[in-house]
Structure 1
Amino acid sequence: MIEAVGLTKRYGAKTAVHNLTFRVRPGAVTGFLGPNGSGKSTTMRMILGLDTPTSGQVTVGGYPFRRLPNAPRQVGALLDAKAVHGGRSARQHLLSLAQLSGIPARRVDEVLGVVGLQDVAKKRSKGFSLGMGQRLGIAAALLGDPQVLLFDEPVNGLDPEGILWVRNLMKQLAAEGRTVFVSSHLMSEMALTADHLIVIGRGQLLADMSVTDFISANSADFARVRTPDTDPQQREKLVATLAEAGGQVQPEQDGALRVTGLGLPRISDLAHAADIRLWELAPHRASLEEAYMRMTQGAVDYRSTHDPRAGFQAVAPGQPLPPGAPQGWGQPAPQAPGMAPGQPNPYAPGQPHAHAPGQPRPYAPGQPPYAAQPPAAAPSVGQPAPPQAGPAPAGPAPAAASPRTTQLRALPDQQAAPTAQPPATPADPNERDSEDAR
């Protein structure tokens, strides 16, 4: 049995746990629930003697954890599955824990089989997946065959088969008369595993009751009623009939009606008297998640806000703009001045400069300068460049140049055939003139 009385823990000006009193009884799986930052981990650390309470006390079997004789054989815990030396194998890790607690070595092989790690017992734990690490942590908690077990998020990283195995293991341990204390954020799993719940928020106790009582106390009772979808007049008639009889009717998202203030027999009699066909008439059964959200809605510290850019996608033609949307909301970006529709903006970041269609991109990787427009007639290999118009320069004749040098020299003065040019783009007033322009 675990018993906390007036448990309080402060870290400077912050109070993590305040005047917490509860009891975890043997023979049942007790779920420990609460939002992030509510003090669950701090409470479990104080139970295990890792943190000293500021005030109050917590005992295990009537003794503080630090005063328990051979505590590992009486209390098993999984708080952090990563608390393993990565260079050790699974068997070496468990064997070291067994030797420190005087547990026989054969128990190591037994728990490896229980958690399903017997085939990887000799592999180093640093290569384990998150689920395998969880199994190894559970094996360490079971090593001393303790009567009290604490688990913090035991199904984290496990596959569906592993989650089912942990669920059955918890129930089996509780059926043997052990005290099982499980902290988890998975409401659906707690609904299937836990028998009793302890819920805290901002370090204070919110609920200490069975799962059934918790759901009943924190869920709204109402009836779901549905009329034929093909006959909207029946729906309107039913709403008027139930409202006249004193019921409160609200529409559901799936087309059903939520009725409060009237019992199911009364709703059935009213519908029968008004000659209204019903396709559904059922009581609302709340889930543990719904009851938990209703209970802890005022104790949540971290809440998400609306994304101001949510919905900034293009609006389909003909669709109205949302209320309050700015001018141009959801419309494609305007084209650059002088650009044809559909052409990329040459001034956009990361966009290549515009060039004539069908022509290679100027200064593309692997192309020499002035290769954007081919010459009208390339000179033959080994032949000098054709004579140029104008007077010949004075002085001795130049030496014969290589074919590549000849071609590069001829390109600037040659005139290529006129090609289609893109529309002229207005000069950028912010761009400085080039040296040639000056």
Structure 2
Amino acid sequence: MRMAEASPKPMLLSDWSHLTSDQYMAAEKATGYDLFCVDSMLINGKGSVNCQSQGTLNQLTSPPLKHLLNGSTVTDRGCTPPTRADLTQGDFTTQDSNLPAGLYSGCTPSNGSIEIIEVDASNGWASINFISAMSLKSPVVSIDEHPMWVYAVDGHYIQPQLADSIFMYNGERYSAMVQLDKVPRDYTIRVANSGADQIISGYATLSYKNGTKNNTSVPYINYGGVNTTAGVIPLDKTILVPFPASAPAPTADATYILNLGRKGANQNWTLNGNATYGLDQDFNAPLLFSPESPDALNPNFTIRTKNNTWIDIILQVELTPATPAQPAHPVHKHSNKAYIIGSANGIFNYTSVAEAMKHMPSGTFNLQTPQLRDSFTTPSVLLGPAWVAFRYQSVNPGAWFLHCHIQTHLDGGMAMTILDGVDAWPDVPAEYGIVNYGP
């Protein structure tokens, strides 16, 4: 196992569209839609456009989604129609005729290359680093007939957990040990979208050295990312206990409550409920060089903390006429990691976690064995609001990004900057100063 960990197999998972990012964002602006359809799922940059018959797609459509579609179907690309505004959009003006041809329908299969992960049974084990570099999709990944011992999450060891499949949000990383004890041959690695927005899969191959070449391995998940049997064991993400064990401070020194949602249009998003963090912010003076500038002091754009203090951030997802439904938002924090200490349905009607713990049911918060992560995903909500809370220690003075890892949501403004340790702000070395490298 130590040898396997020292030489891990990287598996970078991504999605691909024939539209460039500029074209995709232009399509969102032209249609007024929050778009989410892609062409293919890639493994280490390899893959194909896989097209399924409408009958197959209908069979793969889950009963809850069929109910919500109310007689309509997914497109031939497997996409939930954006015109179903009650499922995917807010109460804003849209223009269906501006939807680019070929984005949501018109699936044309391709025959691209396939990634082959070669393993040697004589080594006993292989370590695989799964990295979700998805722009829009939230994949579930599995290796046919090969359970996985997940031993690290977001680059930090956990108490190992056995799983047949791993559900991943954008930006998450998982390391898993795979025992090489099966008949030496080829086994399919499956990467399927797990959300209701699109039925789509990508594939790679786990190939035993000197093994038989075939494509007959038994899957844990189908093309739609659903378990093939009741015995399939998904990774339980609620018990990813850090190793060695660690825990946050019992109380926080400051609390920030952020309201996530749309702002002014389906494709515009806010992390704090008040403003969108526009892409034009990149043209302003870097906050690292100007921690007392108007932008640095604007609570719509920044969170300011003192050094060596514990900070709670509450991510609140609400349902409003502007946002009658919300997808999960995988919010990523740069700099150091944080503990996910609680989550629940409803509105967080408290000024602090300490106050909430006095009123909420036992078990809502976990301060003894919480996950230690750098990604914090809010629940996908259709029926009511929900929230998630994380706690971290401000020990790394500087300017750090906090943002949704769904690319269109980030481009749409779902971001803020954390200015950690404003009372201990670092001196920037002259050779890296704004005079030499700034505008």
Structure whose residues are more often strand by fraction: 2
Higher relative contact order (CA 8 A, sep 6+): 2
Structure whose residues are more often helix by fraction: 1
Same fold (TM over 0.5): no
TM-score normalized with structure 2 length: 0.19
